[in-house]
Chain A
Amino acid sequence: MQNLCKVELLYGKLLCKTKAINQQPVRYTRKPRWLPKAPTKMFRVPIRPQISADESKELFRLFTNYRTTMKSIQKQLEYELETSYTGQEVLQEIANKEKILWAKCMDINDNWNAEVAIEREQRLANEREVQREDILAQLIEKEEDKKKKLEVIEEIIRLEKEKSKTYITAENIDEAIEKALDSVVDHKYALDLAGNILKGNEPNEPSTGTMRVQSIN
């Protein structure tokens, strides 16, 4: 008994961590298994319940009935649960529900599609317009470019034509030869650092033979 009290107090302490003024040890819900039989109950013989034969018979009957009914109820409940998942009607109902849901979904989808189609058409028309304008602009630009190029080419041709007047051809080759023979050019000259052309064979006479034609620099 002392042990029990001690353990009780210990648990009481555990439970009341902050020590209150009125500390109360909490009782056991059950006596621990390791404690011996209480000395007052040492030689007590518990009275067995007296059930008469009639009563026991009646109880037996009732319990057997109860058990059988409970079994049947159990089976019925199991069957109901199973049919709630896999019964023909339930499956049909589920299928119908799904059908209705599917139709609803399809309706919504169609509506969305129609809306999107209108939007898409508008968008595509806009895009087409923009593209057409772009292409037109590109064409105009290309034409202008062509024109510019043609102008440049024509300019070149014009210059060439102008130049072609002085060309030496088979017709005027004799003339050109004569001209060339007539005008002899003396290429024997020297250049100094300033780019002055020095003609004549003697460089010591700068006053007489120097002639500044052009500058190299």
Chain B
Amino acid sequence: MRAYRLLKKLMPSSGGGDDFEKAKKSIRLARYGCANRPFYHIVVVLQRRDCKAHPIEQLGTYDPMENHNGEKLVSFNLERIKYWMAKKARLTNPVAELLGLSGFLPIHPHTYMTAWRNRQKSKTESEQSETATN
């Protein structure tokens, strides 16, 4: 059981957390949904801090559940992301993937990998179904 579940401090999730000049920072996803409904904030936090620690700044949101139009909505504050990247904040993989898909960064190899694997999977499935029908 994590401590934050027991004692929930009241602090803004939009930022204002500890920021030390020389400490490592990372841009990552922080889950702010509820049970069975994930919703993520894209935040800058000190790298050694807990996943739900008070962030330095919120840089965007990510809704991984598709809406009625079949879209996964992402929002970025690109200027601030640029700033924090210039300040050598580390990008976590999911954030890097999202940024790659949004066209801000080159597409992450993970996306390519998942894509070709999905393609292969669908291909094999279709082949299997064909053989089953035949």
Contact = CB atoms under 8 A, between A and B. Distances in A.
Residue of A55, A63, A66, A78 ringed by the most chain B CB atoms within 10 A: A66
A26 B35 CA distance: 12
Nearest to A62: B109
A63 B109 contact: yes
Contacts of A80: 82, 86
B32 interface: no
A62 B113 CA distance: 10
Nearest to A75: B86
Contacts of A62: 109, 112-113
A63 B110 CA distance: 9
Contacts of B2: 29
Nearest to B100: A66
B105 interface: yes
A62 B88 CA distance: 22
Contacts of A15: 6
A73 interface: yes
Interface in B73-112: 82-83, 85-88, 105-106, 108-109, 112
Given A59-B113, A63-B109, A70-B105, A77 B82 contact: yes
B10 interface: no
Given A74-B85, A74-B88, A77-B82, A66 B108 contact: yes
Chain B interface helix/strand/loop/mixed: helix
Nearest to A10: B1
Contact of B1 (A29, A73, A77): A29
Contacts of A69: 106
A70 B96 CA distance: 10
A130 interface: no
A56 B36 CA distance: 34
A78 B86 contact: yes
A80 B86 CA distance: 8
A26 B2 CA distance: 12
A77 B91 CA distance: 14
Contacts of A14: 6
A91 interface: no
A167 interface: no
Interface of B: 1-2, 5-6, 82-83, 85-88, 105-106, 108-109, 112-113
Across the A-B interface, give the 6 residue pairs with the lowest CB-CB distance, nearest first: A62-B109, A81-B86, A77-B86, A78-B86, A69-B106, A77-B85
